[in-house]
């Protein structure tokens, strides 16, 4: 199961996305494949890692910085938000 799916089972994460008008399909957990690699999770029951989750809405991008708490055995994930930044869409009005 993907981390995004696990996080979305928690109401607080879904509410966070709703506050920023971000659809679940429009988020990306940076380096998720590295976090979930067998080598990284070997001999661990709980993963605690600083991560960035990038979301996209009509106004631009929102990056959430925080700590992922992932219980591998129970398949539970919680994201603790520490900070965020917004990057507005920019439109290039130059004419070629």
The domain of 73 spans 3-88
Asked if residue 55 lies in contact with residue 62, where contact means CB atoms within 8 angstroms, the answer is yes
Domain count, the chain: 1
Q: At 86, list the tokens.
A: 């917004």
pLDDT given for residue 47 in this prediction: 86
Residue 49 domain-assigned (yes or no): yes
Residue 58 domain-assigned (yes or no): yes
For 36, 52, 87, the CA distances from 3, given in Å and listed in that order, are 9, 12, 24
pLDDT given for residue 1 in this prediction: 55
Residue 96 domain-assigned (yes or no): no
For the full predicted model, state whether its pTM sits above 0.85: no
Positions in the chain short of pLDDT 70: 1, 38-43, 91-96
Span 40-49, pLDDT tens digits: 566 678 888 9
Strands (E), the chain: 27-29, 46-57, 60-71, 76-88
Query: CA 81, CA 1: separation in Å to the nearest integer?
Result: 22
pLDDT given for residue 11 in this prediction: 84
One-character DSSP codes across 9-23: TSHHHHHHHHHTT--
pLDDT given for residue 75 in this prediction: 87
Residue 94 domain-assigned (yes or no): no
DSSP 68: E
Residue 93 domain-assigned (yes or no): no
pLDDT given for residue 91 in this prediction: 59
Residue 27 domain-assigned (yes or no): yes
Residue 95 domain-assigned (yes or no): no
């Amino acid at each position: 199961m993907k981390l995004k799916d696990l996080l979305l089972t928690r109401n607080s994460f879904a509410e966070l996305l709703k506050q920023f008008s971000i659809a679940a399909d429009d988020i990306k957990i940076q380096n998720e494949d590295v976090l979930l690699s067998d080598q990284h999770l070997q001999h661990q029951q709980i993963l605690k890692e600083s991560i960035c989750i990038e979301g996209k809405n009509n106004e631009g991008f929102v990056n959430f910085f925080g700590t992922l708490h992932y219980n591998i055995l129970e398949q539970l994930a919680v994201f603790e938000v520490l900070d965020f930044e917004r990057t507005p869409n920019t439109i290039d009005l130059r004419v070629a």
